[in-house]
Structure 1
Amino acid sequence: MEYIGYLAAVGIGISLGLIGGGGSILTVPVLVYLFKIEPLMATSYSLFIVGITSLLGAGPYFKNNLIDFKTALYFGLPSILTVFFTRQYLIDHIPNILFHFGEVEISKNMGIMLLFAVLMLFASYRMIKSSPEDKIQKQGNQKLLPLILQGAGVGLISGLVGAGGGFLIIPALIIFNQMDMKTAVGTSLLIIAANSLFGFIGKLEIAQVNWEFLLTIAGIAIIGILIGTRISQNIDGKKLKPAFGWFVLIMGLVVIIQELSK
């Protein structure tokens, strides 16, 4: 199973390089189900892997002037603050047992994975149904308050489930902020990197981190994002969204079945 996990790590990077998101959707299930890492630790590992991979992946987009730094600031800063607050303060106050559903006991770990699965289903629907560019409407200049609120919402989700939030950032940047796909991908990678790395630092416990494993997976994912970025120069990323959406849908259903069958 570990060999499959290493192969999946390449896919994590490729998805980030191609569409500026999706890495987190893959990372947590890969760590939990293929490498048998406890879910809360997996969310922390996911933040580091996705963060460092996205940061390096944003380089080529920066060179090609495909990052909107103004949007990244107003969207990214509230997101960073929210994800840091969530990881540092909120997550520890979530009870170990959330509630009982009939005879099923919903624990914190199970709740995190089920929340992640629901987000995966939502993301798959958005990717399968249509490309975000189809919904762009002519509007005025970007308004700061919507950007701030969008960023804060993404930060909350990122902090809870260890996700960089790219599968939510991309539609928000394109639909509400009229960005073209390539600029949205570059901007998303920068925001994801900041969100993820600050979230990881906010819950960092050096003694518990297996740095050899973590750096190995991150290194493999970096290879993947370099491949994905190169491919994206020749292939329109939006054409890959429906196929990736079906893959995410299947993974989301697998996570739900796995958790409820325990």
Structure 2
Amino acid sequence: MMWIQIIGHLLAGCIGLSLGLLGGGGSVLALPILVYVMGISPKTAIAMTLVIVGTVSLIGTIPHWRKGNVNLKKALIFGSATMLGAFCGAKIAHLPFITETLQLSLFGVMMLVAAILMIRKGSLSSPEKKEDTELYPPPICQYCWLWLITEGLAIGILTGLVGVGGGFAIVPALVLLGNTPMKEAIGTSLLIITLNSLAGFLGYLGTVPLNWGLMASFTVVAAFGTFFGAYLSQYIEGKQLQKGFGYFLIAVATFILVQQP
């Protein structure tokens, strides 16, 4: 129905708006919107979510790239592991015992984790602060590449399985294990999420039916929402909204988990 299409695309705009305002978290809304509003089957919705998340993350990388806050070396090292994991995760999703119910339940749990971290981040941030450099402790070691690659594989597998970008885990990994400054970690994580999403989508391509038109329109609307959110961020302190958005994510995650048989 037309009104469902309108509501769905308005919500897609909210995905981008939250990303532009808060710098993260909004992409986890793509899957529940596609499944519970647009009526897309979960496996197809996960594949479509990967395209939406990947494209919006790529757009978000551009301003960070211009400011010199993207570390290509670390993106390629960490990203190669996450891409392998994402592709494998997408293939694992086709195994008989990986049901859509299991995928949605796992997604709900990941959404809860992301929400809790967002609430914690909002609690540690004050309105005067622009960067949350105190969110994570000092780096554990100078270059823990083995741990970085291992975590990259795990994050990638989750990306392929449930369609989450994994930024809530990638940023602290880059800071703690890659000795990466916070600004650089945020910009680099967006490029890594783009690579993850591409690899995960390739793992689903040809195995699930895709609504290319809906995927394209959602991506365009979310992208415009991101630009609008970035514009509003000049006037609205996103950190003040972070805790509230985190609690909203908890409510959505709870709804998803309750819906599973």
- The gaps in structure 1 that reach 5 residues or longer are 97-107
* In structure 2, C-alpha distance between the alignment counterparts of 1:238 and 1:176, rounded to whole Å: 25
Aligned to 1:242: 243
> What TM-score results when the alignment is normalised by the length of structure 1?
0.85
Amino acid aligned to 1:137: P
Query: Secondary structure of 2:24's partner?
Result: coil
Shift of 1:36: 0.5
- Give 1:1-262 correspondences, 5 Å limit: 1-87=4-90, 89-95=91-97, 108-130=99-121, 131=124, 133-205=134-206, 208-232=209-233, 238-260=239-261
Judging changes above 3 Å, is the alpha-carbon distance between structure 1 residues 234 and 177 closer, same or farther for their aligned structure 2 residues? farther
Judging changes above 3 Å, is the alpha-carbon distance between structure 1 residues 135 and 206 closer, same or farther for their aligned structure 2 residues? closer
Aligned length: 248
Contact 2:141 / 2:176 at 8 angstroms: preserved in 1?
A: no
- The gaps in structure 2 that reach 5 residues or longer are 125-131
Judging changes above 3 Å, is the alpha-carbon distance between structure 1 residues 162 and 34 closer, same or farther for their aligned structure 2 residues? same
Amino acid aligned to 2:102: G
* In structure 1, C-alpha distance between the alignment counterparts of 2:234 and 2:182, rounded to whole Å: 12
Amino acid aligned to 1:121: L
Amino acid aligned to 1:3: I
Q: Percent identity?
A: 39
Amino acid aligned to 2:44: M
* In structure 2, C-alpha distance between the alignment counterparts of 1:34 and 1:187, rounded to whole Å: 32
Give the RMSD, CA atoms, in angstroms. Answer: 2.4
* In structure 1, C-alpha distance between the alignment counterparts of 2:80 and 2:19, rounded to whole Å: 21
Shift of 1:143: 1.9
Judging changes above 3 Å, is the alpha-carbon distance between structure 1 residues 139 and 258 closer, same or farther for their aligned structure 2 residues? closer
* In structure 2, C-alpha distance between the alignment counterparts of 1:240 and 1:172, rounded to whole Å: 24
Contact 1:13 / 1:23 at 8 angstroms: preserved in 2?
A: yes
Query: Secondary structure of 2:260's partner?
Result: helix
> What TM-score results when the alignment is normalised by the length of structure 2?
0.85
Shift of 1:238: 4.6
Query: Secondary structure of 2:68's partner?
Result: coil
Contact 2:140 / 2:176 at 8 angstroms: preserved in 1?
A: no
Higher alpha-carbon deviation: 5-14 or 25-34:
5-14
